[in-house]
């Protein structure tokens, strides 16, 4: 659903229900058709629930966008360092096919984030674990400490990826709950407005207070 459309409909419902409760000339005729104060309060509760969930949905999507930005920044930083280390490793370990395979150095890089993380973690973990790698890399000033720093940055990407997935799930759940509450409110409002047109048929000014514009 379009948030601007929802916000407009929520504002309309808020004004209509509030004015119906607070305006005696509206409340009394409506009560004769079953829309007494308790029933209007019921509608108001539906509005408040939908409005609250709309606010929460906006918040959750904001958090998802923030998590995505943090992930992208982390991946960009880690990715640049990883590619530098990878290029140097291809020089330092040239001809050592077994080691290069263990470090996932052969072939193109995975495009998916999950595949990229798997390759990058294998590179750093095996680089630190295979005895001949660090001495070979150190000849080009890539020490064990620098390789560990690279691994730490990859781990940070993974952590932020998991955080983004969590926020994405929460945003989707918030949207579903908001939509359900909004649909419930819209159903209640549909009946309310139709009855209002009947109860206030001869009182056009009160229909206008409710925001109801009848077609000529």
Task: Say what the pLDDT of residue 110 is.
Answer: 85
DSSP per-residue string spanning 135-170: HHHHTTT--HHHHHHHHHHHHHHHHHHHHHHHHHHH
Alpha carbon distance 106, 89 (integer Å):
11
Task: Say what the pLDDT of residue 202 is.
Answer: 87
pTM of the full predicted structure?
0.81
Tally the C-alpha atoms within 13 A of residue 103's C-alpha that lie toward its C-beta.
Answer: 30
Radius of gyration of the chain (CA): 31
The tokens of 184 are what? 């419930």
Which region, left, alpha or beta, applies to residue 211 given φ > 0 means left and ψ of -120 to 50 means alpha? left
Domain ranges of the chain: 3-210
Task: Say what the pLDDT of residue 13 is.
Answer: 96
The tens-digit pLDDT sequence of the chain (216 residues) is 555 589 999 999 999 999 999 998 999 999 999 999 999 999 999 999 999 999 999 999 999 999 999 999 999 999 999 999 999 999 999 999 999 999 999 888 888 999 999 999 999 999 999 999 999 999 999 999 999 999 999 999 999 999 999 999 999 999 999 999 999 999 999 999 999 999 999 888 999 999 987 665
């Amino acid at each position: 659903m379009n948030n601007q459309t929802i916000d407009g409909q929520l504002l309309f419902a808020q004004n209509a229900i509030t004015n119906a409760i607070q305006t005696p000339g509206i409340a009394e005729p409506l009560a004769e058709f079953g829309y007494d104060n308790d029933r209007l309060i019921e509608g108001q509760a539906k509005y408040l629930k939908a409005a609250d969930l709309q606010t929460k949905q906006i918040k959750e999507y904001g958090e998802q966008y923030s998590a995505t930005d943090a992930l992208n920044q982390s991946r960009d930083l880690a990715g640049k360092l990883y590619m530098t280390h990878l290029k140097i490793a291809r020089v330092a370990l040239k001809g050592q096919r077994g080691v290069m395979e263990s470090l996932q150095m052969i072939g193109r890089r995975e495009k998916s984030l999950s595949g990229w993380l798997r390759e990058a973690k294998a590179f750093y973990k095996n680089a630190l674990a295979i005895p001949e790698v660090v001495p070979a890399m150190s000849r080009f000033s890539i020490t064990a400490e620098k390789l560990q720093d690279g691994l730490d940055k990859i781990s940070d990407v993974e952590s932020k990826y998991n955080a983004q997935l969590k926020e994405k799930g929460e945003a989707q759940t918030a949207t579903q709950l908001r939509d359900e509450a909004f649909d419930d409110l819209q159903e209640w409002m549909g009946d309310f407005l139709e009855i209002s047109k009947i109860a206030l048929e001869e009182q056009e000014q009160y229909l206008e207070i409710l925001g109801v514009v009848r077609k000529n």
